[in-house]
Chain A
Amino acid sequence: MTKIATTLERSDSTSNSLGPVKKPKRVGRWILFAVMMVVAVIMLYPFWVMIVTSLKSEAQFLAGSGFSWLSWSRLTSVIPIGQEVLSSTIVCSASIFVIVLVGLPAGFAFSKLRFRMSTVIFLLIVSAMMVPLQAILMTEFVNITRLHLTGGYLGAILVYASLGTPFSVFLFTTYFRGVPDELVEAGIVDGLGYFGALWRLVVPIAVPAIATVTVLQFIQIWDDLLVGLFFIQNTSQRPITVGLAVLAAGRTTSIPELMAGSIISALPAMVVYLGFQRYLVKGLTMGIDR
């Protein structure tokens, strides 16, 4: 978004100096602006409904008017929301940590080292991206059960990590292919080993790629219900999505309370996205400024 805005400004300033071209550019910009406003309204409307609904009591919600903090104040007594957010955070960060820890050196190896069968292995790993979670859920469940890991966080972390790693290997490989080989070679001639080159030369310029993997995986894992539901069976370690699902499935579901919980659940993903989006644009375009 920031990128688009700056480009627009830049093209506008050049047209200013040209004079006659000014008008059509202006009009085009207003049309674009109008379209983006419409899109923004469509996207933001559900949030608005969520916020408004959460600010009512059950009765006010049914009546359609009024305002109260009741559902917010009751939220912590209805579900252990703090604990659930913490669980989600732990599972999410640990999974992303593994995904980056594996993907980064693998991407480095696939893009910068020459070894036997590298293309075949790369394609095998990347083809795993096409397997949807639902297709392997049952077999994974059997595996994790045999490992006796279906109670706490570890099983879920393993499943998320294995689902996210192919994507991160793919992304890092593509990103590092855009990094000139000479950069690594210069480091090696300067006295680094491969791990030194990875850590001291490649990682510092891989920040956009790391951010991209982190954001995309965070949103995916944070919002996921299925894995948490299946693999984290200790109720005290439930992630927020499972907590909300339980709330929604309750006999007397309070819609305002559900909305309040949903807002809390949606916030971190938004914060992470907004915080990293500067890098995200860069990472997805795979460009490296030289």
Chain B
Amino acid sequence: MADITFEGVTKIFADNIRAVDDLSLHVADGEFMVLVGPSGCGKTTALRMLAGLEDITSGSLSIGGTVVNNVLPKDRDVAMVFQNYALYPHMTVAQNMGFALKIRGYSKSEIAKKVSEAAAILHLSEYLERRPRALSGGQRQRVAMGRAIVRSPQAFLMDEPLSNLDAQLRVEMRLEIARIQRLLGVATVYVTHDQIEAMTMGDRVAVMRGGKLQQCDTPQDLYDHPHNEFVAGFMGSPPMNLLRARLDATNGPSIEFGTQRVAIPTSYSSSHTLPSGDGPGVIFGIRPEDVQVVEAGDHAGTLTTKVERREALGAEILVHLSLVNAAGTSTLVVDDDGAVVTRPTTMVAKMGPRSGVAVGDHLRVRFNPDRFHFFDAAGGDSLRKS
């Protein structure tokens, strides 16, 4: 068992494609680290460099304190679980699981013992003599896991191991993998683009974009204090609403959305470095669950919005709202490629399943005053003082 350190690791492919750019990340011994980010952001490449399947262009990568840049994959003692499982088709489940041990010269009885232990953990004991093709997707996934755990390696590397499973099985295996990892206490790097996997499985989550590390924190910190507009707009489902607005100081600090305005509680002026001067621009962030619909009565500090769309998810309803009279504001959205793009002003609010809102209704909403986020209008970095 060991820790893993990326220090300024960069990977440049042919045609000058920077797949991973100056990545520095420390995975403690026994830690479950999740790498998450949009497609093509370099997650797989980072993992493959760690496994030794890809050369490192520059920087240094160490496992257990030893720099492994030039160490062959077979000498790194890491185990990898592939997205398509990559089981050896001509071997039985037991042979698949015992193969790495056989290569390393373990005796038959030792291999059999370790394989049956791992099979018991993974509930595979009755399938040991089957070939992969005679297994279901979930069972194959377990075999792939089993192949990794029999080795008691320095680290587990997993590249979207659950993405080929159906939703229900994925929930089950998510818990299962987390349980096994905790049981064995082996440092794990887990690549996914599934929000829920990232939030539920990781001790810490590293968010990447365009080859660069954006933020690495515990899931809760990542959710509560995103370092920039990308992380805010990427994490969470639906993600944080990001509204481009102006600050106004005439009647105490407030945010201006066209003709409507919201007061900023005074505590933010000490916790954040808010821009000053004449109506400076800012990116205001608020999570959907912090957009509260005010049914009636007290209208102080509320905004008037119009329902554009409603999505009933059963347990809750997502309503897409547009701000009334909000000329000059717009919304930022992280698209599928991880680019932050500008859209017309809308925001998403979560409402109870019984709320009878209809498209076209006007709603008054209030933002939870404890949960405001501010990002730099130019660079997108959080304005929160660290």
A290 proximity list for chain B (CB < 8 A): 89, 133
Contact pattern, A 248-290, Cβ under 8 Å of B = 1, otherwise 0? 0000000000000000000000000000000000000000111
Cβ 8 A contact of B73, one of A182, A189, A201? A189
Chain B residues near A191 (CB, 8 Å)?
A: 74, 100, 103-104
Interchain CB contact under 8 A, A186 and B90: no
Asked whether A185 is an interface residue with its Cβ less than 8 Å from the other chain, the reply is yes
B103 touches A186 (CB 8 A): no
Cα A169 to Cα B103 with chains together (Å)? 29
Residue B27 at the chain A interface, CB threshold 8 Å: no
Complex alpha-carbon distance, A253 and B210, angstroms:
80
Complex contacts, B244 vs chain A, CB 8 Å: none
Size band of the interface chain B makes with A? 20 to 34
Taking the closest CB of chain A, its distance from the CB of B75, in whole angstroms, is: 9
Q: Which residue of B lies closest to A179 (CB)?
A: B89
Q: Establish whether residues B103 and A196, one from each chain, have CB atoms under 8 Å apart when the complex forms.
A: yes
B82 and A190 contacting across the interface, CB-CB below 8 Å:
no
Say yes or no: A289-B133 contact (C-beta < 8 A), given A180-B86, A189-B53, A205-B89. Answer: yes
A-B contact pairs, 28 of them (CB 8 A): A180-B86, A183-B86, A183-B89, A185-B51, A185-B80, A185-B86, A186-B86, A186-B88, A187-B88, A187-B99, A188-B53, A189-B52, A189-B74, A189-B79, A189-B80, A190-B74, A190-B79, A190-B99, A190-B100, A190-B103, A190-B147, A190-B151, A191-B74, A191-B104, A204-B90, A205-B89, A288-B89, A290-B89
Q: Shortest distance in angstroms between B71's beta carbon and chain A's nearest beta carbon?
A: 13
Closest to A289 in B: B133
**A189 touching B103 in the complex, CB below 8 Å, given contacts A183-B86, A289-B133:** no
With an 8 A cutoff between CB atoms, is A178 at the interface?
A: no
The reply to whether A183 and B88 contact each other, CB–CB distance below 8 Å, is: yes
A182 touches B133 (CB 8 A): no
B residues with a Cβ closer than 8 A to A are: 51-53, 72-74, 78-80, 82-84, 86-90, 99-100, 103-104, 133, 147, 151
Name B's interface SS.
Answer: loop
B103 A185 Cβ-Cβ under 8 A:
no
Residues of B within 8 A of A188 (CB): 52-53, 73-74
Given A185-B53, A191-B100, 15 other A-B contacts at CB below 8 A?
Answer: A186-B82, A186-B147, A187-B88, A187-B99, A189-B78, A190-B99, A190-B147, A192-B74, A192-B103, A193-B74, A196-B103, A201-B88, A205-B89, A288-B89, A289-B89
Mostly, the A contact residues are helix
When A and B form their complex, which 9 residue pairs have the shortest distance between CB atoms, in order from nearest?
A182-B86, A190-B100, A186-B86, A191-B103, A191-B74, A204-B90, A182-B82, A189-B80, A188-B73
User: Which residues of A are in contact with B by a Cβ distance under 8 Å?
Assistant: 180, 182-183, 185-193, 196, 201, 204-205, 288-290
Bound form: Cα–Cα A203–B97 in Å: 20
CB distance from B144 to the nearest CB of A (A): 9
Q: Give bound CA distance, A25 to B244, whole Å.
A: 66
Contacts of A183 in B (CB 8 A): 86, 88-89
Q: B89 and A186: CB pair below 8 A?
A: no
- In angstroms, Cα B73 to Cα A157, docked, is 40
A-chain residues with CB within 8 Å of residue B74 when the two chains form the complex: 188-193
What is the distance, in angstroms, from B83's C-beta to the closest C-beta of chain A?
Answer: 8
A201 to B100 alpha-carbon distance, docked (Å): 12
Bound Cα distance A196, B104 (Å): 12
Q: How far is the CA of A290 from the CA of B135 in the complex (A)?
A: 11
User: Within the complex, which residue of A180, A193, A204 is in contact with B84, where a contact is CB–CB below 8 Å?
Assistant: A180
Q: Is the CB of A189 within 8 A of B51?
A: yes
Whose C-beta in chain A lies nearest to the C-beta of B104? A191
- Closest A residue, CB atoms, query B75: A191
Q: How far is the CA of A186 from the CA of B159 in the complex (A)?
A: 12
Q: Which of B72, B78, B86, B100 has the most chain A CB atoms inside 10 A of its CB?
A: B86
List B contacts of A185 (CB < 8 A): 51, 53, 80, 82, 86
Contact (Cβ within 8 A) B90 A182: no
> When A191-B74, A192-B74 are in contact, do A205 and B90 touch as well, CB less than 8 Å?
yes
Q: How far is the CA of A38 from the CA of B78 in the complex (A)?
A: 61
Closest Cβ neighbor of A190 among chain B residues: B100
Whole-angstrom distance from the CB of B63 to the nearest CB of chain A?
Answer: 13
Q: How far is the CB of B194 from chain A (nearest CB, A)?
A: 20
**Bound CA span A192–B103, Å:** 7
| Complex: A288 Cα to B74 Cα, angstroms | 27
Which residues on the B side are within 8 Å of A196 (C-beta)? 103
